[in-house]
Structure formats: structure tokens, C-alpha cells
Structure 1
Amino acid sequence: MPQHLEKINVLRGVAIMLVFGYHSLLVVFGQYEIYEYSPSGLWIDFARYAPGRIVLGLTPPGLGAQGVTLFLVISGFLIHWGFLKSGATFRFGEFFNKRFWRIYPPYLVAVAVFGLSLGTGGLLSLLTHITLTHNLFERTFFTINPSFWSLALEAQLYVLYPVFLLLCRWLGGVGKATLAVAALTGLAMALEVGLQTRSPTLWLSVTNLWIVWVLGAYFGERFFYGKRIFTRGAGYLAGAYGLLTLSALTPVYALLGRVLFSLFFICLMDWYLYLPAPATSAMGQALTRLTARVGLYSYSIYLFHQPFLANIIQFFSFGQKSKPVLALAVAAAFALLFIIAHFTYRWLELPAIRWGKTLYIRSHRPVPAAAVSRG
């Protein structure tokens, strides 16, 4: 595997651990996120919340919803980098064949597992989940499995990729196309603020998150041509992360948090992918390999870690409420899901990818000339 793809798996591992940590905090502490602001509207209302709750929301897992942002940036990067690597020729059938067999068969199995065990939420919920459109309706947004909204979003962003390529062609480059998508995102956000919309299907709409994916694609093109975006040291990244963390205390985070974090993530990726391999200890190398393995299994972990996470944590904590015991239970739950993901990756993901490749090759195999003449 090329070194940069192995590093991408490390970043995927970080992303899924952020998402898992975020959902685990919701299980252990309940709703800890703060959305109410002071009368001035500049900060959260410090007088209404305990300091511990505020600090919890500023920890990496407390901001773990940004793991989805990192996944979207990585997706845009890999899709567009792969397009350029293949000769910058978009083959509609080949592209969607790969995307379908990569995500849909394991996803359909997960829908069946949770739909049969917990219920589908009704016919509309089932149909929209099968068609990966449930994130477009408030009634179905969090049904069956609350994590599935981002998989539907991912599928819709795949559909928008040819549109992005057309924008690149019409506007004269990936940079101008990215600015065009950013302008569209800004318009959508302004409309939401003007209409004072609070619906999650609007706040997490395809329009608002398209720019996150597109920024990943923009970086993919820069990386392909060896053009750096971020040339500073790790200290600047640490400082930027600190400022972004503090922004969670303001309305800026609620409105622009994902966009700002996506900019941070492309800088982080640029720094990390160009970083020479350091001479680390055996323990450091083992930790890197383990994180990369977590990243390799991240799709299966994402598919199956909810909605039974609370039950799994309760099982490993033996019903105790002690925070140290719950922390150990969370670690045990992740270990169990890692083992499950190992098998679903090998038994669901890899076979589906192989089947899709085989079927595509067979369906596009040239017809022998002799057969044509006999016909």
C-alpha cells in the first residue's frame, strides 16, 4: 500500500474514534452539548451550566461530531485524487459501480439487522433508507440507526461529484469551482439564519455539507500535483485546534464549525501526508499500525456501533454508574466492535467489492468478433 494511503487509514481511525467517543459521551453523560447563548448572543450562557459540562464539550470526544467532517474531507480527497490518477476521465458506470458495491451491500445488511431487531419506523422510513434519502425528511432522519444520515449524505455527494467536475470545466479549475460551491453554501446558510430554521434536515443538509466534501477534493488535486497548502509546523496546527475548540463557546461553531474544521483538516492532512516517517519506538509503531487497522475497519464500525451502544456499555459496566467503570466499559465496547468489524470487513465489505468488480468486468467484456458475425 502506498505510504500516503496507509496514513489515510490512520486518519480514518482517528475519525471513527472521534465519532465513537462522541456517541459514548452521550451514553455516559446524557445530552451535554450546549446550544443556549447569553443575552448578548456572543457566548454560551456560562451562568446556566456547570463548569464540568462546559469542559466536557471542549474535549476531543466532546467535539467528536467533527469526526464525520474528517470522513467527508477524506472521501472528497480520495475520490478526486483517484479520478486524477486514473487519467482525469470520468466513466459514469465504473464510478457508480465502485461506489455502490463499496457502501451499499454492507449498509443493506445493517439496515436489515436493525430494522428486524428494532423496527423500521414505518414504510416511509424503510423506503427512504433503502433509497438512501432518509436524511432529506425530518420524520426519517434518525430512524433505524441514528448514524445512517451521514451514509445517505455520502451517497448524495457521490451523485454531485459529476456536477463538481462540470463546474471545474466551466469555471476553469478546481479552485474556482470550490469557490462557487462555497458561495452556494453561504447562501444556504444565510437563508437558514434568515428563516430561523432549526430542523436537522436543513442544518445538516446536502447543500451545507457539500463544501466540506469539495474542500477534500480541492486538496486531493493539490496533493496530486504536489502543491502544498500548509507548510508550517505542528505548533501552528495545535494553535488552530485550540482556537477552533474555543469557538465551540460561541455561535460561530454552530454556524461555521464544520467548514472551519474542514479547513483545519485539509491543513492537518497536508502536514501529515508530507511528514517524513519518524524514528519511533516499537510501541509507537504498533500504535500507528493499530490505528490504521481501526481506520481500515472504520466503515463497519460506523455501520454497527449504534443503536446498541448504550446496551453494550451497560453490559460491560454491570449496570454501575461509576465514571471509571464506565470508562473501562466504553473501552471494552470499542474492543468488541473492533472484533465484529474485523469479520464484517472480511465477510461483507471485501466480498461485495470483489463481486462488484467481477460483475462490471463481465458486463463490459468485449463481444468476440466471431460471435458478432454469427449473429
Structure 2
Amino acid sequence: MNNKKNLDIEYLRALAIAMTIATHLPILLPFYSETFLPLLSVYMPWTGVDLFFCISGYVVSKSYLEHLDRYHDKGLFAVAAQAFWLRRFYRLLPTAWLWILVPLALSLAFNQSGSFGSWFENLRSLTAVMTFTANLANQYGKLLGPNSVYWSLALEEQFYLLFPLFLLLVRSWRWRVGLLLGLIALQFGLSRDPFAGPVSAMLFSFRLDAMVWGVILYLVSRTELYRQFEPTFLADKGWLRVAFVGLLVYLLGAIPGQMIAVPVAVGLVAIVSLLLVGIASYDKGYLPVPAALSKGLGWLGSRSYAIYVIHICAFHASTELWHRYAQARGVELGTSFTLELVLTALVMMVVAAELNYRLVEQPLRRKGAELARQRLARFVGAEEDSRDVAVRSTAARELA
């Protein structure tokens, strides 16, 4: 396995988090609602989440599928699955739970504007998040309240729980691909418009297409078919890369903005996500990223998970801060505070994400990796082969 981090995947993560932040700007700037509405009917960027889903399906499969299969052949699948879950636990949950506790504390101590919601709404969110049911809870009276972004994290957690079990029960490559394609086909024609009623909204919160496509992408990448589909036509023509990838990025937001009432819209979004992740999976610079932006986008991609769980809290904190300022001066918090609100939220987001990455994510990721290694070592001793070492190294880089 190649241990080098795939920068094109990082760039897609940066795109996904930028789209997610753009989706939630009305929370920070509610006085622009009438301006946002017509824009969102043309380009709806909530599909950045679907891009995240597809990346997760592909990267987790790349990092762990062969590893889990190999331990299955050794009769140690249960141990390998436990090691996988340990890694995922330490990678995701400390950050997620920290940034559900912070708004809870702020709802009690820093909440004159009410932007953080009530302490009970935050406590209820905490309960849903810690029971991995946030996507389900969000469909019943909006029980996630001010922390609604956690619905997608719950869906990923459910995927990580079931992923090893799927590999255990389905051993054949053909059966794996066939069943996954069947799952996509089962959902493809169903309406998943979040505004069309309770059934569609529920299906919207349990949409698996993009993650499943990510798994299929990795399964296909182990075959000759993957090499035959490599988009080499993007290699030498910069204008073609810009045009082709630009079209896909346009479709990623235009389909839900303009076609969400069409039942297959969400399924089409998943396919667009697959095409973008597929292009990035070759790691040959097929994405048109200017050199001047490479470092910044790489940073944004590597911190995207922290930013995802932090940005709403930063929006609320900025609103609270400037609400107090405006109230002290007897003025209304409105359009005249746009720049202040945005810059303050941006600074809070960047600083908090960097601190979280260095002080929480990185140390605990290493802790989870060490615990997983120790768990495996109890059963296989010190004779893990170099391929297993490569898997661990790749997982640490790809899932960063």
C-alpha cells in the first residue's frame, strides 16, 4: 500500500467543508434570508455532506478492508473488528462529544441572545449524539435543536459499526459488489426530499448511496477495470480539468437546488460524488488546484472534521458576542454587523479547529492506534507482517 497521503482527497474534503459552511450561513446571517433563498434555489451546497460520505466509504475501505479480510483468514476477524472500532472510537467520539458539551456549557453561561438554544435542548442533543441516534432523533420534533449537523455523524458511525459485519457475512467480491449495487438501486428511485414529508425526510437522513459508492470504488480499484477507467484525458490539458471538474462541482449543488423534487435527485448527487472521489482516488493531480491554494486547501481538508462539528458553535458564539455589543450601544444586530459576525466566526472556527486537531484529534488518534495494536498483539504476537504495518500507517494518514 502507498503510505503517502492523497492530496486530491484532502482537496475534496476542503470542498465538502466549504460547501457545508456555506449551507449554514443563514444561521449566522439570518437577516439575509431573502437574499439567500433565490441563491439556494439555484445552487444548494448541503451536498458537501454526500461528498464526505463518499470519501469515507472509499478511504475506510482502502485502509481496512484487506486488513479485516486477512485477519478473517487467520481466524481472528473478531479481534481485527474490535481494533477497527477502537480506532474509529478514538478518532471520532472525543471531538464529537467535546463540541456537544461546549455549546451545552455556553447555553448556561453565555447565551443572552438565545443563539445556543436552551440548556435542555443541548442536553437532549447530547443524549442523541451519545446514543448514535442523532439522524433518527432529528426527525422527531427536531430533537437535535441547535446541533443538527450531528445527524450526518450518526449515519457515519452506524456505517462504521456495520462495515466489519458486512465483510464478515459477505466474503465474495462479486457478492459484495452485487449486494451494494442492489442497496443503491433500492434507494435510487425513492424520494429523499427533506421538505416533502416525514417519510422522505427520514430517508434523507438515512441515505447510504454515497458511502456505498465509496466502498464499491475501492473494490473496483483492486481490478483491471479501475485502470481502464482512469481519466487520463485530464492529464495534460488544464482547461479540460477545470471544465470537467467544474461541471461536476456545479452539478453537486445544482441537482439538489433545482431538482430536489425529482425522486432520483439524491441518487444523482451520490453518483456525482462518486465521480469526484473516483478522479481523486488516482492521486495524480487530476483535480485543478492552483499551487498557490494547495497548502491552504490541504490544511482545510485535514481539519475538516473538527471544522464540521465546530462551525455552528462558532456561529452562535459570534452572534452572542456581537448581540451583547449591539445591545450595549442600543442598536440592532443586523446587516451593519455582517463583516464583524463573519470574521469573528471565522477566527473562532480556525483557532478552535487547529487546537482541537493538535490537542485532541492527533493525540487520541495515536492512542487509539496503540490500543488497537495492543489488542491485536495479544492474539498474533509480534509477528504482524509488513502489510499489516502498512495498513496501520495508511489508516493514520488517510483518515487524518
Q: Please give the range of the TM-score, normalised by the shorter of the 2 chains.
A: 0.7 to 0.9
- Structure 1: segments with no counterpart, 5+ residues: 33-49, 370-375
The residue type equivalent to 2:8 in the other structure is K
Choose from 163, 167, 172 the match for 2:174. 172
Q: Which SS does the other structure have where 2:212 is aligned?
A: helix
CA-CA distance at 1:182 after TM superposition: 1.1
The residue type equivalent to 2:160 in the other structure is Y
CA-CA distance at 1:314 after TM superposition: 7.0
Query: Once superposed, what is the RMSD of the aligned Cα atoms?
Result: 3.7
The residue type equivalent to 1:113 in the other structure is V
* Equivalent pair of 1:94/1:360 in contact (CA under 8 Å): yes
CA-CA distance at 1:26 after TM superposition: 4.1
TM-score by length of 2: 0.71
Q: Residue 114 of structure 1 aligns with which residue?
A: 103
Question: Cα 1:172–1:128, aligned 2, differ >3 Å: closer, same or farther?
Answer: same
The residue type equivalent to 1:132 in the other structure is F
Q: Which SS does the other structure have where 1:172 is aligned?
A: helix
- Structure 2: segments with no counterpart, 5+ residues: 71-76, 108-118, 235-240, 327-332, 382-400
Does residue 287 of the first structure (1) align with residue 293 of the second (2)?
A: yes
Q: Residue 266 of structure 1 aligns with which residue?
A: 274
Q: Residue 74 of structure 1 aligns with which residue?
A: 55
Deviation sequence 1:29-78 (CA, Å, 0-9, x none):
4695xxxxxxxxxxxxxxxxx8973234434xxx2211111111110011
CA-CA distance at 1:23 after TM superposition: 0.8
Choose from 344, 358, 371 the match for 1:359. 371
Does residue 11 of the first structure (1) align with residue 23 of the second (2)?
A: no
Distance, in Å, in 2 between the alignment partners of 1:169 and 1:30 is 54
Choose from 336, 342, 346 the match for 1:334. 346
Matches within 5 A, 1:1-375: 2=3, 5-29=6-30, 53-59=37-43, 63-84=44-65, 86=67, 88-89=69-70, 91-118=80-107, 119-121=119-121, 125-137=125-137, 138-139=140-141, 141-143=143-145, 145-165=147-167, 168-169=170-171, 172-186=174-188, 189=190, 197-198=197-198, 202-206=202-206, 209-225=207-223, 227-228=226-227, 229=229, 231=231, 233=234, 234=241, 235-242=243-250, 245-248=253-256, 250-252=258-260, 255-274=263-282, 276-277=284-285, 284-312=290-318, 315=321, 321-322=334-335, 326=338, 329-366=341-378
CA-CA distance at 1:24 after TM superposition: 1.4
* Equivalent pair of 2:50/2:269 in contact (CA under 8 Å): yes
Deviation sequence 1:86-135 (CA, Å, 0-9, x none):
37335211111111111012222222222233224387654332111132
The residue type equivalent to 1:157 in the other structure is F
* Equivalent pair of 2:91/2:361 in contact (CA under 8 Å): yes
Q: Residue 372 of structure 1 aligns with which residue?
A: none
Distance, in Å, in 2 between the alignment partners of 1:203 and 1:327 is 37
TM-score by length of 1: 0.75
Q: Which SS does the other structure have where 1:9 is aligned?
A: helix
CA-CA distance at 1:331 after TM superposition: 4.6
The residue type equivalent to 1:54 in the other structure is P
* Equivalent pair of 1:135/1:141 in contact (CA under 8 Å): no
The residue type equivalent to 1:165 in the other structure is L
Question: Cα 1:131–1:255, aligned 2, differ >3 Å: closer, same or farther?
Answer: same
Distance, in Å, in 2 between the alignment partners of 1:30 and 1:225 is 52
* Equivalent pair of 2:100/2:125 in contact (CA under 8 Å): no
CA-CA distance at 1:27 after TM superposition: 2.8
Distance, in Å, in 2 between the alignment partners of 1:240 and 1:7 is 15
* Equivalent pair of 1:18/1:65 in contact (CA under 8 Å): yes
Distance, in Å, in 2 between the alignment partners of 1:254 and 1:326 is 35
- Figure out how many residues of one structure are paired with residues of the other and give that number: 339
Question: Cα 1:178–1:167, aligned 2, differ >3 Å: closer, same or farther?
Answer: farther
Question: Cα 1:52–1:161, aligned 2, differ >3 Å: closer, same or farther?
Answer: closer
CA-CA distance at 1:296 after TM superposition: 1.1
Q: Residue 115 of structure 2 aligns with which residue?
A: none
The residue type equivalent to 2:214 in the other structure is G
Tell me the percent identity.
22
CA-CA distance at 1:224 after TM superposition: 4.5
Distance, in Å, in 2 between the alignment partners of 1:258 and 1:367 is 44
Distance, in Å, in 1 between the alignment partners of 2:210 and 2:11 is 20
Question: Cα 1:275–1:142, aligned 2, differ >3 Å: closer, same or farther?
Answer: same
